[in-house]
């Protein structure tokens, strides 16, 4: 919810061209990337055998819904005026929140699943089944649906009498800011902070486990599997570092100043500008998520080149971390 800057009715503030260009780029790359990813995950690979495939298909669906809402944002920030009605104003704002927190939760599920496959491959088999994966996905969507209702109600179009135009995505009342900030604090803790700690813990556990494989018993399949699984976890952490954490940090600081909980000179404008930039960074989430598909969507290649004396050990690690591993 952007800053109420009533001193200027034009679109000269840098946020308008920044949002317009950023959303256009995200739409340009995110729409084909996620469409192709979803097609490959659902139509080509299928969802009957692959647990991580189920999680990634739901992640791709969330990203695709967000990118499909971007034309509405582009139209508004290119013109500075909303003419499409209240319902179409609420939908893009809601889908932004839906994408951020559903992505966070699905990335967490992917990380936990891969950690269990590597660290506890036998004891966790009952948790890494297709029915259980769908149960977890349904739970995530139910949580997101519960978040979507108050978010939609808190993102209506707003009349700007000073400029005599209708606004969307900005110019919210103080009461809407209080409600929005309350929602933000709750979802930041449960939807960002806790999942990030879980992913970080999974990353540490996997790295420690992989170090346990000695060079004497490793094969080329093993080494390729190690590299692939480490890159998967690093890509998850990268998405949090670029998209989720900066945006929520800046948004909370801006909200604290906006609601007069924190005070200080020109810091409100500074945090508003920072929140604008980090919001653009957060929108790139739908373009970065295909990194996860890339590092998880192919079985490890090159097994035939491995030393036959160590093939059994390498193959065990490959199976524990491959796309089709249960």
Element (H, E) at 181: helix 174-188
Per-residue pLDDT of the chain (326 residues; tens, 9 = 90+): 444 444 457 677 899 999 999 999 999 999 999 999 898 888 877 777 788 889 999 999 999 999 999 999 999 999 989 999 999 999 998 999 999 999 999 999 999 998 998 889 888 888 899 999 999 999 999 999 999 999 888 888 888 888 888 889 887 778 888 888 999 999 999 999 999 999 999 999 998 888 876 544 445 445 556 777 888 888 899 999 999 999 999 999 988 888 878 776 677 788 889 999 999 999 999 998 887 877 665 543 333 344 333 343 344 454 444 444 44
Tokens 């900066």 locate to 246
The predicted pLDDT at position 251 comes to 92
Helix-helix angle 51-79:15-39, to 10 degrees: 150
| Paired residues of 219 in beta bridges | none
The CA-atom distances, in angstroms, between 84 and each of 68, 90, 133, 171, 264 are 16, 11, 38, 17, 38
Taking the C-alpha atoms of residue 7 and residue 15, their distance in angstroms, rounded to an integer, is: 15
Taking the C-alpha atoms of residue 216 and residue 259, their distance in angstroms, rounded to an integer, is: 61
Residue length of the chain: 326
Taking the C-alpha atoms of residue 242 and residue 252, their distance in angstroms, rounded to an integer, is: 16
- Cα of 106 vs its chain's centroid, Å: 8
Spatial CA neighbour of 325 closest among 107, 108, 125: 125
pTM of structure: 0.85
Taking the C-alpha atoms of residue 278 and residue 250, their distance in angstroms, rounded to an integer, is: 7
Domains of the chain: 15-321 (1.20.1070.10)
Q: Which residues, other chains included, contact 258 with Cβ-Cβ below 8 Å and sequence gap of 6+?
A: 3, 177, 181, 268
Q: Evaluate whether 34 touches 286 at the Cβ level (below 8 Å).
A: yes
The CA-atom distances, in angstroms, between 169 and each of 221, 237, 246, 278 are 50, 29, 20, 15
- Exposure of 20 in the CB half-sphere (CA atoms within 13 A): 13
Torsion angle of the four alpha carbons 292, 298, 304, 309, in this order, in degrees rounded to the nearest 10:
50
* 3-state class (DSSP) for residue 107: helix
The predicted pLDDT at position 319 comes to 46
The predicted pLDDT at position 186 comes to 93
Taking the C-alpha atoms of residue 106 and residue 239, their distance in angstroms, rounded to an integer, is: 12
């Amino acid at each position: 919810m952007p800053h109420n800057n009533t001193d200027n009715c034009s679109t000269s503030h840098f946020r308008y061209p920044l949002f317009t260009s950023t959303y256009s780029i995200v739409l340009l790359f995110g729409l084909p990337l996620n469409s192709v990813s979803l097609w490959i995950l659902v139509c080509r690979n299928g969802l009957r055998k692959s647990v991580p495939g189920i999680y990634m298909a739901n992640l791709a669906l969330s990203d695709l819904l967000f990118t499909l809402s971007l034309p509405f944002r582009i139209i508004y920030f290119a013109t500075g005026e909303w003419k499409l009605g209240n319902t179409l104003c609420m939908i893009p704002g809601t889908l932004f929140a839906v994408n951020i927190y559903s992505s966070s939760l699905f990335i967490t599920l992917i990380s936990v699943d891969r950690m269990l496959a590597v660290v506890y491959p036998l004891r966790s088999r009952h948790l890494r089944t297709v029915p259980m994966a769908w149960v977890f996905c349904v739970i995530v969507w139910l949580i997101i649906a519960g978040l979507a209702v108050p978010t939609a109600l808190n993102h209506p179009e707003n009349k700007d009498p000073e400029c005599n135009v209708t606004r969307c995505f900005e110019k919210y009342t103080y009461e809407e800011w209080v409600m929005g900030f309350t929602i933000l604090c709750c979802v930041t803790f449960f939807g960002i902070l806790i999942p990030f700690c879980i992913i970080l813990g999974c990353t540490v556990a996997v790295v420690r486990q992989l170090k346990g494989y000695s060079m004497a018993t490793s094969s080329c399949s093993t080494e390729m599997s190690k590299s692939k699984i480490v890159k998967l976890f690093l890509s998850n952490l990268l998405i949090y570092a670029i998209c989720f954490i900066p945006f929520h940090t800046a948004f909370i600081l801006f909200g604290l100043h906006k609601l007069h909980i924190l005070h200080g000179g020109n810091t409100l404008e500074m945090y508003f500008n920072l929140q604008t930039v980090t919001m653009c960074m957060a929108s790139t989430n739908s373009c970065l998520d295909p990194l996860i598909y890339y590092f998880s969507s192919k079985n490890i290649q090159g097994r035939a080149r491995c030393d036959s004396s160590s093939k059994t050990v390498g193959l065990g690690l490959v199976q524990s971390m491959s796309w089709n591993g249960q």
